[in-house]
């Protein structure tokens, strides 16, 4: 046994040694090869670069596509500006030769513990390499190359040059590459005029421009700024007094309004998509000479701009046009202080078709004509409310969706199930947080919400017969030699049956004709629509207003709101819908929705639906006036056939005697007639009445029979009758009583 253990340990040690040796050789080979990579000096020194972006006709898009309009020389910056970045990013920048091995060892240990690559321990030199010479993917292979090239570049340039390059290429969010661009955007001043606290704000941002954004995450940004100040004081770069004074100052911005619209241009959206495709920053895309070919349609782009301008919107706004067949974004307009497409907003009632009604129809749970009781209700500790606390009783699913009634939507979600409904929505491009697990999501109550592209894209599923394809800005990309390096081949996935998509579309056509989007009813096009309005909690003010509309050919999405959550005076059925209407007035659309062969029309019994809230087919005896024609999927037809008009139910009658008169109370229905017969003669008749009817019939003999006959007014041949007998006591007294 001891001998076995001894040999086992020896073999284990040998195996480990061989593995480590192999790993060492692998790392060494990558390192040696990386050393032979030439440093691209143009990327380091170019101050103003232009990206080549083209529209659907291969014409250059006439928008501001420049990267780094100006360049900050290191000698022009205040000492504290430079020291702010060094203190928070690389304290020993002037001591190392490109790599801080202690930090790498510590980060490597932490990464092994967490089984991830969260910590990079990159020096300023390494960050410079990552942002200019390599892709940003997190792999050990790239990390080794980064180390090798960092050591190489340190031999080519002095520390001040490297710091200057670094400060002019790093990303500060909101399309700001380099400190000069960031200073100009956030503070409307050149970098050489930055104050101590402004310098620390910018230095703190670069770790995560979104998380530490001074616009949308000001509290995070302020804490991060103060951390930079603390580190500077700790490093002896500023005094305690300077740190204290700076910490007490508020986070003040002076956004450059000339730069704002550039953030939300079609070109910028395409650039952002290209960065994800090529896995390199925009500056490197420009320097590498890539050409980006998009789906932008100039006519539709201008029409969307004009449509939004027609409403004189004073809040943030955005609009998008998607070609449904290709899932190609033909136009995009945005106006805000930072990138709208990076924001997620509560969708309000616009989520109902995607999350609630489409899944319910596809799961054969409801028909468009299914009746749902609109009432005060609590489901799983959630108590939803309708707008204005108005409850309508039984309404059809079609009416509930078209008029955006809340209670039915929550009920239908409970029929489908939250988890199953979310799977459908996710397949249509909607992302949820793990905390999105309550029935509030039926009304758009999500943790983070949705962005405009994803929400509009989900609606294109209905126009595409149930197939979803992620919308894209970019058609293809070529390199500087016009060689194709990327082409959009995003595949479509089946989410809904064709008939389910059509039924949902038809319900939303009702919304455009007579529902919350009825401002579209005057358009001469086959259009479906849904509105959404998000109210501010405990207030009558609104935060978001949406309209998502689609024809067979295209989907139009409009959002109004403020990304700093200032209230707006708009509602989904008003300004967003008016913008959609104006767009289709400028760009007429004659496309028609295809009616699948699996869609059929059936006559249903309107009386059974109204009285019993059951969808049943009309029988052959049912008069036309008591039927209604509805559309159904051939895969989900009503199984019940109404027995109304085929047989007659006996009328509900109660009676008593008052002062020698027979008092009859009949539960009347307006489609039935009731004959009151005494001695073979009709003495009274009820026709076209609904509800309880009271009659008085004189009792003239000791024994009196009264016959009540009822029949359907339009088919009197079938009748039901009942006899009521009234008998007076034989011995007459002043107080004699009649018995029934």
- Provide the CATH number for the domain around residue 692: 2.60.40
588 token code pair: 């007429």
Q: How many domains is the chain built from?
A: 5
Q: Is 459 exposed, middle or buried (0-12, 13-18, 19+ CB in 10 A)?
A: buried
Query: Does 425 share its domain with 551?
Result: yes
Which H or E run contains 548? strand 542-550
Query: Does 658 share its domain with 510?
Result: no
- pLDDT of 731 reads 56
Query: Does 537 share its domain with 671?
Result: no
Residue 284 is assigned to a structural domain of this protein: no
Query: Does 25 share its domain with 44?
Result: no
Query: Does 579 share its domain with 628?
Result: no
Query: Does 620 share its domain with 698?
Result: no
Query: Does 617 share its domain with 687?
Result: no
* Residues recognised as catalytic: 89, 349
Q: What span, in angstroms and rounded, lies between the C-alpha atoms of 586 and 274?
A: 31
Q: What span, in angstroms and rounded, lies between the C-alpha atoms of 620 and 206?
A: 75
Cα angle 491, 493, 495 (rounded to 5 degrees) comes to: 160
Helix axes 79-89, 159-167, angle to 10 degrees: 90
Q: What span, in angstroms and rounded, lies between the C-alpha atoms of 5 and 705?
A: 110
**Of 279, 154, 152, nearest in space to 144 by CA:** 152
Residue 338 is assigned to a structural domain of this protein: yes
Query: Does 325 share its domain with 391?
Result: yes
Residue numbers in the chain where pLDDT is lower than 50: 117
Residue 269 is assigned to a structural domain of this protein: no
Dihedral through CA 689, CA 690, CA 696, CA 701, nearest 10? Answer: 90
Residue 639 is assigned to a structural domain of this protein: no
Q: Is 312 exposed, middle or buried (0-12, 13-18, 19+ CB in 10 A)?
A: exposed
Residue 271 is assigned to a structural domain of this protein: no
292 token code pair: 């980006």
Residue 448 is assigned to a structural domain of this protein: yes
Q: What span, in angstroms and rounded, lies between the C-alpha atoms of 216 and 339?
A: 10
Query: Does 484 share its domain with 394?
Result: yes
Residue 292 is assigned to a structural domain of this protein: no
- pLDDT of 31 reads 53
Residue identified by tokens 């489609």 is 671
Query: Does 332 share its domain with 458?
Result: yes
Phi-psi label, residue 263: left if phi above 0, alpha if psi -120 to 50, beta otherwise: alpha
Furthest C-alpha separation in the chain: 132
- pLDDT of 60 reads 92
Query: Does 623 share its domain with 672?
Result: no
Query: Does 21 share its domain with 86?
Result: no
Predicted model pTM: 0.80
Parent domain of 616: 599-633
> Which of 586, 608, 641 is the last residue before a domain boundary?
586
CATH number, domain with residue 436: 3.40.710.10
Residue 28 is assigned to a structural domain of this protein: yes
């Amino acid at each position: 046994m001891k001998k076995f253990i001894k040999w086992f340990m020896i073999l284990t040690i040998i195996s480990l040694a061989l593995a480590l040796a192999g790993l060492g050789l692998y790392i060494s080979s990558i390192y040696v090869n990386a050393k032979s990579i030439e440093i691209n000096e143009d990327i380091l020194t170019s101050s103003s670069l232009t990206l080549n972006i083209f529209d659907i006709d291969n014409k250059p898009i006439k928008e501001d596509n420049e990267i780094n309009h100006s360049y900050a020389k290191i000698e022009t910056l205040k000492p504290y500006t430079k020291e702010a970045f060094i203190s928070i990013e690389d304290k020993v920048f002037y001591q190392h030769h490109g790599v801080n091995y202690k930090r790498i060892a510590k980060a490597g240990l932490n990464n092994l513990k967490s089984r991830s690559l969260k910590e990079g321990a990159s020096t300023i030199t390494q960050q410079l390499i990552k942002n200019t010479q390599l892709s940003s993917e997190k792999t050990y292979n790239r990390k080794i190359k980064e180390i090798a090239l960092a050591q190489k570049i340190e031999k080519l340039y002095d520390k001040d040059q490297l710091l200057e390059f670094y400060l002019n290429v790093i990303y500060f969010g909101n399309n700001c590459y380099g400190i000069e661009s960031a200073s100009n955007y956030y503070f409307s001043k050149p970098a050489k005029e930055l104050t101590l606290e402004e310098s620390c704000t910018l230095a703190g941002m670069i770790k995560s421009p979104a998380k530490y954004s001074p616009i949308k995450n000001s509290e995070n940004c302020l804490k991060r700024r103060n951390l930079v100040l603390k580190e500077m004081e700790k490093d002896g770069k500023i005094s305690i007094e300077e740190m204290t004074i700076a910490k007490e100052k508020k986070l003040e911005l002076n956004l450059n309004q000339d730069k704002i619209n550039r953030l939300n241009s079609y070109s910028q959206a395409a650039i952002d998509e290209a960065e994800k495709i090529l896995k390199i920053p925009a500056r490197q895309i420009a320097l590498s000479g890539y050409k980006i070919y998009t789906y932008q349609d100039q006519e539709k782009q201008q029409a969307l701009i004009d449509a939004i301008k027609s409403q004189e919107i004073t809040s943030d706004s955005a609009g998008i046009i998607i070609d449904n067949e290709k899932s190609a974004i033909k136009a995009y307009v945005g106006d805000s202080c930072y990138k709208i497409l990076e924001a997620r907003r509560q969708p309000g009632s616009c989520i109902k078709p995607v999350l609630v009604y489409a899944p319910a129809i596809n799961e054969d749970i409801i028909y468009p004509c299914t009746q749902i009781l609109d009432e005060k209700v609590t489901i799983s500790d959630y108590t939803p409310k309708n707008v204005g606390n108005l409850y309508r009783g039984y309404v059809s699913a079609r009416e509930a969706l078209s008029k955006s009634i809340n209670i039915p939507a929550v009920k239908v979600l409970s029929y489908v199930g939250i988890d199953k409904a979310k799977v459908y929505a996710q397949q249509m491009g909607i992302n949820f947080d793990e905390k999105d697990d309550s029935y509030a999501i039926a009304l758009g109550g999500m943790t983070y919400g949705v962005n405009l592209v994803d929400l509009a894209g989900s609606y294109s599923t209905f126009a595409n017969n149930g197939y979803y394809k992620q919308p894209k800005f970019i058609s293809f990309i070529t390199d500087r030699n016009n060689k194709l390096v990327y082409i959009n081949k995003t595949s479509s996935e089946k989410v809904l049956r064709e008939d389910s998509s059509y039924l949902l579309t038809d319900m939303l056509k009702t919304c455009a004709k007579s529902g919350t989007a009825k401002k579209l009813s005057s358009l001469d096009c086959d259009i479906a629509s849904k509105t959404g309005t998000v109210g501010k909690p405990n207030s009558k003010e609104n935060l978001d207003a949406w309209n998502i509309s689609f024809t067979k050919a295209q989907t139009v999405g409009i959002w109004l709101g403020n990304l700093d959550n200032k209230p707006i005076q708009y509602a989904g059925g008003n300004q967003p819908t008016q913008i959609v209407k104006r767009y289709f007035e400028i760009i007429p659309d004659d496309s028609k929705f295809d009616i699948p062969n699996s869609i059929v029309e059936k006559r249903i019994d309107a009386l059974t639906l109204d009285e019993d809230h059951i969808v049943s087919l009309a029988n052959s005896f049912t008069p036309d006036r008591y039927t209604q024609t509805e559309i159904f999927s051939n895969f989900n037809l009503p199984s019940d056939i109404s027995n109304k008009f085929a047989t007659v139910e006996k009328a509900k009658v109660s009676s008593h005697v008052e002062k020698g008169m027979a008092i009859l109370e009949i539960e009347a229905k307006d489609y039935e007639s009731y004959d009151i017969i005494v001695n073979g003669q009709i003495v009274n008749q009820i026709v076209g009445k609904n509800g309880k009817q009271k009659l008085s019939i004189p009792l003239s003999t000791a024994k009196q029979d009264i016959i009540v006959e009822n029949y359907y007014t339009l088919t009197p041949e079938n009748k039901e009758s009942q006899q009521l007998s009234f008998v007076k006591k034989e011995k007459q007294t002043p107080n004699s009583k009649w018995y029934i």
